[in-house]
Structure formats: structure tokens, C-alpha cells
Amino acid sequence: MTRKEFFARAGYGAAGVLLPSCIAGLATSCTIPNPNPPTPGALSLIKALPSTVTIGGRLGGTTTPLTVNDTLNGAPVIIGTGAGEVFLTSVTVPKGMTLNTDGTVTVVANTAVGNYNVAYKITEVTNPTNSAITTAIVVVSLSLPVIKAVSETTTAINGTTGGTTTSLTANDTLNGIPVVIGTAAGQVKLTAVTSPLPAGLTLNLNNGTVTVPPNTAAGAYSVSYKITEVTNPTNSSIAISTIIVTVAGSLPVINAVSETTAAINGTTGGTTTSLTANDTLNGVAVVIGSAAGQVKLTSVTIPTGFTLNSNGTVTVAANTAAGNYNVTYKITEITNPTNSSTATSIIPVTATPITAPLATVDVSTGSLATNGGYLVVKGIIIARTITGGFLAVSAACTHQGTNVKYVLVNNNFHCPNHGAEFSSTGVVTKGPATTNLTQYTTVLTGTSLSVYP
């Protein structure tokens, strides 16, 4: 074929100008030769050039082709399996991304913001040894979902028994969808903002509920918390919810029980057992103290010469006239200070004539001058307690007659012979002894302590 015939078939005139019929699309054959034909026997020039594509990380999706800048012999590459086309293979693709056969990249939803390098290779189908490698950048943009922690007021919890609220995060959303607490992409992390929480409340971080311990005082408690998107840790929201604790209609039953104590010898005086021994709070014996679930003891009416002690006992002074004395007191729930009960107990005082003392000692000197000290006189062991009071019991152990010792730390009596133990009033608490020691009455006048039967 001559040169003239070649150009004529290609749609060119004799002068090498494209014929108007080809421009107008009228010619039957208008094949245009490659202006830069490859050198015979040489591989086509293949180029893979870097590109940058952008995708939103929250929803994920598929990018435009990374091969937009790639060429084969100067012409944009065509991905396929035919002659003159190229096929695509991945070299390095980040986790959560997929390089598709058409040159696009699929990014999973909830991919963290950042620039990700995707390395790939294009290879000429016709000549499989002809390839080029490049690295494209997939930009995952900051398309933070709307995160919203909603403040709420919980259903009331009974403060007496305690309980657990519904989840504070039940109304919270991430991009309009209820949040899920966890560690996976698309979930949220829960943290307490208020720390420690009021009144011993506990925010359960795994489900958003709040646990209210028993004996929590009635009131409205503020709990501030934060939810943070796991995928994008800078995306968070804070809310302050109100935990309602009530005892309305459910106050524990508090009951101070009137009683008549054992008689006290008015000549020597003495101390009763605790007036609160029969008192109850919600059916359980009261404990005097300052902690939740305990009660406070206060006097209402106390006769002259009588003392209501902090443990509920009453001390009657020596030389108190015989008679029945009314002692009125009140117990009040610590948790709910409006919840109280009053009782009047009777303290009988007898006029038992006093006999001559069994022993008299000076407590200003010697072992009895110090708390914890003791001595044995006339078969009686006299001990001074940690509070400065005095105890007197028979000294001989009822097992084999060895004199007992007073143990301050336990406020009891111990036999060094075989290890028998007795309470501060002489009652056997540990064998081998089986019989109690005899308890005596002590009367202190100035620094002179007398022991009576």
C-alpha cells in the first residue's frame, strides 16, 4: 500500500489533512493512526501516577478510580482483559479497605479519619511483563456523626431498699440512632464526669444504669456522664441526669419500745442495760451510730441524777431515792432524719441498805491509777477499764482456783493456768471453767473505791 493509499483509508486527504467527511462522521472508514506509535519490538510505555481520592469515614463507601492518571503509551488506561488494556492488582491496602478490579476502593463504615496509602500495580494485558506501581492516597474525611447525650430524670428509686435505674443512655443517639455502649466501631464509650458520684451511687459503665445503695437518703441526685464515639474519640457529648430517690410512702418502720429495767440499788447507784435493746428499724434491731441504716439516740426527759449514755444505757447516781423513774428518749433514723420514734422506759430504784464494804482501795495511786491496771485484794480482782470505770469480780478461777488477770484490750478476765475466760461481769465465755465468777458492786467516793456484795 502506498503512502497516499494509507492516508486515504485513514480519512486524510493527499495533503495529510483529516477529510471533512471523517470530521462529520460520514466516511465509512476513519481509523486514525497512533500519532506516537511504539517502536517495533519495544514494550508500550506504561505509567501509574499517584492520585488522591476522598471518602466520608462515617458511612464509608466507594471512591472514584485510583487509575484516573494512569496511561498506557500516552493514552488513559482501560482496565479489562482485552489487548491494549491493563489489569489491576493490589500491593498494599490498609485494613478495612478493598481495592476493586475497576480501580475504585471500598471503605467500610466508621473508618477513622486520616490519610491512607493504597499501593497498586497496573499490568499490560498484551505484555504481562510490562507494569507500573504507584501509591494513591485515600483521604477519609472528618464527617463526624452527630452524637447527643440527653439529660433525663429517672423513675424514683426506694432509698430504703436501694435499687438500679434504667439506662441513662437509653435516649442518647449517634447520628440519630440509639447508642450502643461497647468498644467496636460505631459504638460509644461511657465515662462518669462527676466523680465520685453522690451518696454512694454507682454509674455502671457497661450499660449506663445507676445503682442506688440501700439506706440512701431521699433527694434528687445529679449524675453527669459523657458518651464518646469509639471510631472518632474527639466526638463526644455530656449530659447531666437526675436520679430521684424517695422514701415517700415507704419509710422504714422505726419502733422505740417502752420497757421496765431491772432494779438499780439506789444506795450504790449503777447502770441499766440498754433501753434500745428491744428497739427496731424495719424489723431489725437498731444500731446506734452515725452511718446510713443506723439511728441517733437523744434524750427527751431524764430525771435528776440519771444519765442517758450514748449506748442506750442509763446510769443512776449513788444515793438516789427509791422509786420508779421515767426516762423518755427518741431514736431517729440517720438516713431519713424525719423518721423517728419516742419511748418512755421505767427505771426502778430500790432502797437496799448498804452493808460494810468487802474491800476499799485508793485508786489515785498504784495499779488502779491507770486504765487497764488491776489488783487482787481479799480474793477480789478490781480492774480499771479503758474508760476509767471499775470492775470487781471474784479472783479465783472456778476451774482450779488460779487467780485470773484482767485483759484491757478485750475488757475481760483470763485465767493463765488453762486459758479459761470470763466477761467483764464474770460470765464464762471460754472453758474449761463452767461456773461464773461472782460479780461485785463498786462505789467510788473521791479517790476511794469500795467493793460491795
Residue with cell 421515767: 326
- Specify whether the CB–CB gap between 20 and 92 falls below 8 A: no
Cα 278 to chain centroid distance, Å, stands at 38
Residue with cell 472514584: 64
Secondary structure (3-state) at 338: coil
94: buried, middle or exposed (CB in 10 Å: 19+, 13-18, 0-12)? Answer: middle
Closest CA to 159 of 84, 245, 242, 93: 245
**CA angle 40–43–45, rounded 5-degree value:** 115
- Specify whether the CB–CB gap between 49 and 70 falls below 8 A: yes
Cell, residue 88: 489491576
Strand ranges (DSSP E) for 125-158? 131-141, 147-148, 157-158
Residue 118 makes CB contacts below 8 A (sequence gap 6+) with 66, 90, 92, 93, 94, 97, 99, 105, 135, 136, 137, 138
pTM, two decimals, is 0.37
pLDDT 10s digit of each residue in the chain, 453 long?
A: 444 444 444 444 444 444 444 434 444 444 444 444 555 557 889 999 999 998 988 778 999 999 999 999 999 999 999 999 999 999 999 999 999 999 999 999 888 889 999 999 999 999 999 999 999 999 988 667 789 999 999 988 988 888 999 999 999 999 889 999 999 988 999 999 988 888 889 999 999 999 999 888 888 899 999 999 998 898 899 999 999 888 755 677 899 999 999 899 888 889 998 999 999 988 889 999 998 889 999 999 999 999 999 999 999 998 899 999 999 999 999 888 888 999 999 999 998 665 788 999 999 999 999 999 999 999 999 999 988 889 999 999 999 999 999 999 999 999 999 999 999 999 999 999 999 999 998 888 888 999 988
Pairwise CA distance, residues 351 & 341, whole Å: 33
Closest CA to 202 of 221, 186, 183: 221
